[in-house]
């Protein structure tokens, strides 16, 4: 029996609960890459993995005790997605009301945001990191609930592809939380403002769209996919993960200490104009955004893992990454060209490929 009102407000309640856990649970204080108004590096309370674990335990207790059917979020998926969309729209308005104008058009300020690094609870929570955290945890809860629906529907013959998909996407979420501090060095954290794009993106899009593969197939029976397809899917996913995680870790290590070998073994090859440095070796010598290629491969591996390559739904996820990351690379390239000038030109000459070596 579905309860539309509860379904609609479920994400509001879940997000409030996760925010509460994040604020009260112990955390490590980590210096980020973004600069505050006084030119000092911002510090962040990082406890994503612990908040994730406690949230999962609460979900499991609710499931075992019978308070919440295991597939409750699946049953209420449309209501939940609608509630999260409305919440995203309203919070984006609130974020706009609380921050001074940037002078751009109303629509641009609403979409891209006004405040750069809003802090909550006297600095105990950073709005951007909270948005990513709550989105990641609700994505995992949706994932578990959607898989539960599949297993409950086909207890005798659940699809190995569905289980593999859940395992790989869980890897993706946990990987983000394990390396949460590395995310402090990514574009959205140090270069973007908090507006509809980030708020709605984290609250509505991330938890519901990223598991789009299961929206499409969780209610279908086992497709009987051959083992080689599942192996191929896993290899594609982990090849992508190696590129994305490797490139991010290499840049993170370089920004913290350019003179130190990566993983204590590989000297960092870089170019310099005497003032600034850019990596041009390792992952950053393969293409200028090989990390984006990694993300696209991971998404492709996920689509394949469901074992229904002719089904359209799972392919929406890699398609979304193409639409997101190709323009994002162009934006970042423009930003870096303006920031580094002639040094960026030299980097472009040394590493001519944008994302895919020898192709693009
Ligand atoms: P990058 O991690 O590629 O960061 C770009 C910034 O890194 C540039 O603006 C520049 O910043 C610096 N930089 C670029 N080239 C070099 C170089 N050669 N040497 C040193 N510094 C360089 O991009 P994003 O922040 O967009 O992405 C971060 C991660 O998040 C990626 O792995 C990406 O794939 C992932 N991601 C995941 C998404 C998802 O939904 N799963 C969505 C979007 C991204 P500066 O000079 O100011 O330091």
Name the pTM for this structure.
0.90
Q: In sequence order, which residues have a C-beta less than 8 Å from that of residue 184 and are 6 or more positions away? A: 30, 32, 33, 34, 44, 129, 190
Q: In sequence order, which residues have a C-beta less than 8 Å from that of residue 56 and are 6 or more positions away? A: 140, 141
- 264 CA → ligand 1 middle, Å: 22
Domain boundaries, the chain: 1-164+192-198, 225-360
pLDDT at 123: 84
Ligand 1: atom nearest CA of 33 is 48
Ligand 1: atom nearest CA of 347 is 18
pLDDT at 234: 97
**290-305 and 160-178 are packed helices; what angle lies between their axes, rounded to 10 degrees?**
150
Q: Which residue, judged by its Cα, is nearest atom 29 of ligand 1?
A: 186
Q: Which residue, judged by its Cα, is nearest atom 20 of ligand 1?
A: 278
- 147 CA → ligand 1 middle, Å: 32
Q: Which residues of the chain have pLDDT under 50?
A: none
pLDDT by residue (tens digit) across 175-184?
A: 999 999 888 8
Any ligand 1 atom below 6 A from CB of 241 = no
Ligand 1: atom nearest CA of 172 is 41
Q: Tell me the DSSP string of 131-168.
A: HHHHHHHHHHHHHHHHHHHHHHHSTTS--HHHHHHHHH
Ligand 1: atom nearest CA of 247 is 32
- Name the token pair of 261: 């070998």
Any ligand 1 atom below 6 A from CB of 175 = no
């Amino acid at each position: 029996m579905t309860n539309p009102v509860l379904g609609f407000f479920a994400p509001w309640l879940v997000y409030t609960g996760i925010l509460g856990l994040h604020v009260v649970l112990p955390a490590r204080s980590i210096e980020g890459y973004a600069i505050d108004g006084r030119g000092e590096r911002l510090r962040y309370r990082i406890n994503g993995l612990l908040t994730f674990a406690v949230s999962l335990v609460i979900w499991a207790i609710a499931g075992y005790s019978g308070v919440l059917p295991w597939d409750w979020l699946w049953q209420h998926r449309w209501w939940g997605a609608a509630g999260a969309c409305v919440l995203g729209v309203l919070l984006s308005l609130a974020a706009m009301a609380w921050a001074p104008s940037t002078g751009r058009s109303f629509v641009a300020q609403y979409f891209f945001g006004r405040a750069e690094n809003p802090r909550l609870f006297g600095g105990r929570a950073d709005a951007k990191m909270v948005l990513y955290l709550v989105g990641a945890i609700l994505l995992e809860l949706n994932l578990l609930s959607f898989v539960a629906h599949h297993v409950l529907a086909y207890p005798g013959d659940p699809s190995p592809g569905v289980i593999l998909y859940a395992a790989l996407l869980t890897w993706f979420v946990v990987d983000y939380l394990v390396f949460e501090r590395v995310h402090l060095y990514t574009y959205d954290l140090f270069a973007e403002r908090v507006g509809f794009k980030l708020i709605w993106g984290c609250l509505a899009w991330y938890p519901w769209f990223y598991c789009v593969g299961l929206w499409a197939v969780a209610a279908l029976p086992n497709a009987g996919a051959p083992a080689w397809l599942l192996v191929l899917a896993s290899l594609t996913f982990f090849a992508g993960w190696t590129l994305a995680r490797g490139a991010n870790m290499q840049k993170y290590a370089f920004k913290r200490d350019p003179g130190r070998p990566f993983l204590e073994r590989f000297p960092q090859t870089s170019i310099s104009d005497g003032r600034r440095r850019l990596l041009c070796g390792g992952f950053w010598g393969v293409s200028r955004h090989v990390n984006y290629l990694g993300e696209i491969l991971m998404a492709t591996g996920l689509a394949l893992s469901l074992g229904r390559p002719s089904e359209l739904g799972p392919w929406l996820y890699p398609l979304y990454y193409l639409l997101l990351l190709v323009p994002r690379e162009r934006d970042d390239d423009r930003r870096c060209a303006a920031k580094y000038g002639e040094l960026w030109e030299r980097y472009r000459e040394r590493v001519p490929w944008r994302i895919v070596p020898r192709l693009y």
